Amino acid sequence: MKDASPQTIYLKDYTPFGYVVEGVELTFALAPEATRVKSRIRFAPNPDATDRTFFLHGEDLTLISAAIDGTPVTPTLTEQGLTCEVPDAPFTWEAEVEIAPAKNTALEGLYMSNGMYCTQCEAEGFRKITYYPDRPDVMATFDVRIESDLPVMLSNGNPGTQDGGVAEWHDPWPKPSYLFALVAGDLEARSDSFTTRSGRHVDLNLWVRPGDLGKTAWGMEALRTSMRWDEEVYGREYDLDVFNIVAVDDFNMGAMENKGLNIFNSSAVLASQDTSTDANFERIEAIIAHEYFHNWTGNRITCRDWFQLCLKEGLTVFRDSQFTADQRSAPVKRIGDVIDLRARQFPEDQGPLSHPVRPESFQEINNFYTATVYEKGAEVIGMLKRLVGDEAYDKAVALYFERHDGQACTIEDWLQVFEDTTGRDLSQFKRWYTQSGTPRLSVEESYEGARYTLTFRQRTPATPGQSEKLPQVLPVAVGLLSPGGEEVLPTQLLEVTEPEQSFTFDNMPDRPIPSLLRGFSAPVVLERESDAAEQAFLLAHDTDPYCRWEAGRGLARGSLVASVVDGADPDGAWLDALQAVVTDPALDPAYRALMMGLPTQSELAQALYEKGITPDPDAIRDAVEATVRATADRWADDLPGLSEEARVAEPYAPDAQQSGKRALGTRVLSLVSRLDGGSAAEAQFEAADNMTLKLAALGNLVRLERADDALAAFEAQWKDDRLVMDKWFGIQIMSAPAPVAVERAEALTGHAAFDWTNPNRFRAVMGALVSNHAGFHRADGAGYDFLAGWLARLDEKNPQTAARMATAFQTWRRYDDDRQAKMRAALESLRDKPKLSRDMGEMVARLLG
Ligand code: ZN
């Protein structure tokens, strides 16, 4: 690892590479400490480039030999790569390098996980495998030969010769180096097949370590469903003879869309009734779909440079959310996405890490795989679709595939196909890509002589590097209800484009009640001083599932804020109105479960902060606990009936219907355990035949401090299952009473199974502490020091995962002076650490502002 020598890269400096690559041949002789990689690359001058500097990226490589057209050359080597004199005509570059996968703890490039070789090349990992123009706009075909005595050896594309000790793979589709992949190990596969719409037979394999085959059925089914869906909805077919998925235990992210060889964090693909929760199943289905969909949005059409990351990620997240909405419940998926956006993207956009969906500069691209690029990026696609309509969206996307197949593209290319198909001018809309921050939208209304007027005002607070904001295009879906609860105006899409803009509605015999931002039609903060009576009305009558849910959420927020600020009792009117919804048997149990959810403590801290009140984490926790208790008391008579409704009689299936019931049951159990001291939870823990019910029960027992036996039994049963043990580690911290959460986490880091170099295990502990809001923000700063200490340690091994986890500090300016000082000190201790990685160096500098 290098010392940080921060170099900032700018979007505006883009220039094409001086050469095109006509073909790549790679030979790997695998060995843990000394893998040899031979490359043979055909280069030709790029007619579209002016700069002919021959620079190849390369990091942590030992160069053994290099030759051009067969003649040995001596390139000039630097920390970042090499330069060399080359002919002014097509030529063949050959090199041999040595690397040490067993020593690669950063999990980028070629590394080892439990004796298995695997690669991770996005974004800039291929340069740790061999010298190459490691940038996404250089696309080439790859032929790969792997030599080792391992039984399974995989790479991208279609298989060639597979003989004892040698495996060859040919990928006919030109691709950037970040999509290269290689896997070798003692693996077993669940195999299946798929026939594409046009008759191509595709072999499907899901490769796992011996012992894990029992957890592959769900992933395989999700893959087949995704393949069919992309044909039916987007007209996209698969384009190789084989599609391989591999599960690996050590992985920095969720999964990776390498061409024809997707590599998955085992937590994002392996599932079984006994070991996985319903939420795990749903997430796995979505990630399988996501990676598969990248084959067109990302692989066939890729990014010109890493500033365009949202081109593939925003679009692919949007596509996978459409898929989940189709497989399950569209309203439930939409509300889940809003919850997630507010929990992860809003804090990012409202704090020191705020950046545009398409950033303009970075030091370390790994730091920009963010909720803003992914989730806000997906929201931007959703808005575009809403604005142009479904039909025009389909046409524009079809044109995108037709026009840009095989290219490395930009956001401009993407917007152009929409302009060309609709004739719309999208220059103002483009600000969604260039302007950071969450727009605030306020609303006023007036009613005079049957004319109802809505006046919107938009403004976006300043964000780092952007003090002046321009008005954006806000698609605001609106419906109007009569005082009797009838919908007098079905959903209409208003386009707010001005700083202030009014819309009138005539012939309104009564003053209507507005239902605003239906379906969460734009990722904004709606600032509306609506009173509790209006929210209760919408909670009872709104026909839009999102707005109805949001009305309840607004009431919950109001009640909780009042409890925090002046110790007020929970709002009884809210709880009664909510009770009517929650006990309505006509409503989907999953939706009722969402209705029962409270805003997170972190979200409440943000709400208080925005009202100019310094959030006190302990007071917030007490208010939430008091509210849950009050709810349990008030609804006590309904709880047995609700538990009964939530019971699933059929054999376990992770589908939307069953998991909706279990979600409702889980909410109910949490209330019941406030009344019975935990006996129902204990009984459920004993009886559960699936991980969803087991873990829900265990969480309650941990919170009640009566989980010792259950935790011991759980550990004894699952000690050899890494994914289940991640849950065991996490829940003890996440659900612990706040005052002891840090000590719990500390003790668990001393557990023999705390392998902190495994990203899943590290996150299970650290992430769980951060999610225990009052525990992490304990007044003495113990949580901050604990996390910062571990981040410093992990940074030496795995900068990417360490830097990502450091985002836990992004909200530090919300809190009181004392906590701020302690968080600042923790961040400064990281900043001043010798040999800080580039990832962490940039992250901490941005956090400190
Ligand atoms: Zn992706």
Q: How far apart are CA 674 and CA 528, in angstroms?
A: 34
**294 CA → ligand 1 middle, Å:** 7
Q: How far apart are CA 297 and CA 308, in angstroms?
A: 12
Retrieve residue 216's tokens: 């592959």
The one-letter code for the residue type at 299 is N
Q: Contact, 5 vs 123, CB < 8 A?
A: no
Q: How far apart are CA 105 and CA 60, in angstroms?
A: 13
Q: Residues 255-264, buried b or exposed e (16+ Cβ, 10 A)? A: bbbbbbbbbb
Angle at 622 between CA 620 and CA 623, to 5 degrees: 65
Mind spelling out the 3-state secondary structure of 371-427?
Answer: HHHHHHHHHHHHHHHHHHCHHHHHHHHHHHHHHHCCCEECHHHHHHHHHHHHCCCCC
Count other C-beta atoms under 10 Å from residue 581's C-beta.
18
Give residue-wise pLDDT tens across range 231-274.
999 999 999 999 999 999 999 999 999 999 999 999 999 999 99
The one-letter code for the residue type at 669 is L
Q: φ and ψ at 48, to 5 degrees? A: -90, 0
Q: Which residue has the tokens 């298989």?
A: 159
**478 CA → ligand 1 middle, Å:** 32
Q: Contact, 755 vs 761, CB < 8 A?
A: yes
Q: How far apart are CA 133 and CA 290, in angstroms?
A: 27
- The whole-number pLDDT of residue 531 equals 85
Q: 458, 462, 534: which is closest to 496 by C-alpha?
A: 458
Q: How far apart are CA 819 and CA 350, in angstroms?
A: 19
Angle at 278 between CA 274 and CA 280, to 5 degrees: 85
DSSP secondary structure code for residue 833 in this structure: S
Q: How far apart are CA 324 and CA 447, in angstroms?
A: 41
**How many whole angstroms from its chain centre is CA 635?**
36
Q: 800, 810, 787: which is closest to 840 by C-alpha?
A: 800
In this predicted structure, the answer to whether residue 364 has a pLDDT above a threshold of 50 is yes
DSSP E strand boundaries for 397-522: 408-409, 440-448, 451-459, 474-481, 487-496, 500-505, 513-516
Q: Cis ω on the peptide bond leading into residue 680 (within 30° of 0)?
A: no
Q: How far apart are CA 456 and CA 330, in angstroms?
A: 28
Region 576-605: mean pLDDT is 98
Q: How far apart are CA 821 and CA 744, in angstroms?
A: 24
DSSP secondary structure code for residue 482 in this structure: -
Q: Contact, 312 vs 571, CB < 8 A?
A: no
Q: Contact, 121 vs 306, CB < 8 A?
A: no
Cα distances from 244 to residues 168, 256, 723, 832, in angstroms, run 15, 12, 22, 44
The distance between the two most distant Cα atoms of the chain, rounded to a whole number of Å, is 89
Region 347-355: mean pLDDT is 98
User: For all residues of the chain together, what is the average pLDDT?
Assistant: 97
Region 495-513: mean pLDDT is 98
**227 CA → ligand 1 middle, Å:** 16
pTM of the model: 0.98
Count other C-beta atoms under 10 Å from residue 232's C-beta.
11
Pairing between β-strand 166-175 and β-strand 71-72 as defined by DSSP bridges = unpaired
Q: How far apart are CA 60 and CA 78, in angstroms?
A: 10
Retrieve residue 244's tokens: 């391989």
**310 CA → ligand 1 middle, Å:** 9
List Cβ neighbours of 641 (8 Å cut-off, separation of 6 or more). Answer: 583
Q: φ and ψ at 394, to 5 degrees? A: -60, -40
pLDDT band at 530 (very low <50, low <70, confident <90, very high): confident
814: left (phi over 0), alpha (psi -120 to 50) or beta: alpha
DSSP 545-591: HHHHHHHHHHHHHHHHHHHHHH-PPP-HHHHHHHHHHHT-TTS-HHH
Q: Contact, 489 vs 512, CB < 8 A?
A: yes
Residue 232 annotated in active site: no
Angle at 388 between CA 235 and CA 523, to 5 degrees: 100
- The whole-number pLDDT of residue 5 equals 63
Q: Contact, 526 vs 443, CB < 8 A?
A: yes
The one-letter code for the residue type at 8 is T
**190 CA → ligand 1 middle, Å:** 24
- The whole-number pLDDT of residue 2 equals 42
**320 CA → ligand 1 middle, Å:** 10
- Strand pairing partners for 204? 192, 243
In this predicted structure, the answer to whether residue 3 has a pLDDT above a threshold of 60 is no
**386 CA → ligand 1 middle, Å:** 22
Region 173-196: mean pLDDT is 98
Q: Contact, 833 vs 794, CB < 8 A?
A: no
**810 CA → ligand 1 middle, Å:** 23
Angle at 303 between CA 376 and CA 174, to 5 degrees: 140
Cα dihedral sign for 321, 323, 326, 328?
negative
**540 CA → ligand 1 middle, Å:** 38
Q: Which residue has the tokens 């992860």?
A: 344
DSSP secondary structure code for residue 498 in this structure: S
In this predicted structure, the answer to whether residue 380 has a pLDDT above a threshold of 80 is yes
Retrieve residue 347's tokens: 């804090």
Retrieve residue 776's tokens: 């992490």
Give residue-wise pLDDT tens across range 708-763.
999 999 999 999 999 999 999 999 999 999 999 999 999 999 999 999 999 999 99
Q: Residues 706-727, buried b or exposed e (16+ Cβ, 10 A)? A: ebeebeeebeeebeebbbbbbb
H-state helical runs in 195-277:
217-234
**258 CA → ligand 1 middle, Å:** 11
Give the H/E segment covering residue 263. strand 261-265
**318 CA → ligand 1 middle, Å:** 10
Region 551-558: mean pLDDT is 97
**293 CA → ligand 1 middle, Å:** 9
Q: Which residue has the tokens 């990091």?
A: 59
List Cβ neighbours of 111 (8 Å cut-off, separation of 6 or more). Answer: 101, 104, 105, 117, 118, 119, 120, 250
Given the residues 168, 291, 379, 550, the one annotated as active site: 291
pLDDT above 70 covers a percentage of the chain that reads 99
Give residue-wise pLDDT tens across range 38-68.
999 999 999 999 999 999 999 999 999 999 9
pLDDT band at 15 (very low <50, low <70, confident <90, very high): very high
Region 527-549: mean pLDDT is 93
**301 CA → ligand 1 middle, Å:** 13
**4 CA → ligand 1 middle, Å:** 28
Q: How far apart are CA 218 and CA 6, in angstroms?
A: 44
Q: How far apart are CA 605 and CA 607, in angstroms?
A: 5
- The whole-number pLDDT of residue 4 equals 44
- Strand pairing partners for 62? 98
Q: How far apart are CA 430 and CA 552, in angstroms?
A: 33
Burial of 751 (0-12, 13-18, 19+ CB in 10 A): middle
Retrieve residue 773's tokens: 């809001």
SS3 content of the chain, % helix, strand, coil (to 5): 45, 20, 35
Retrieve residue 34's tokens: 């000394």
Please report how many Cα atoms fall inside a 13 Å half-sphere around the Cα of residue 345, on the Cβ side.
26
**256 CA → ligand 1 middle, Å:** 7
- The whole-number pLDDT of residue 1 equals 42
**55 CA → ligand 1 middle, Å:** 28
Q: How far apart are CA 602 and CA 811, in angstroms?
A: 9
Q: Which residue has the tokens 């030999």?
A: 65
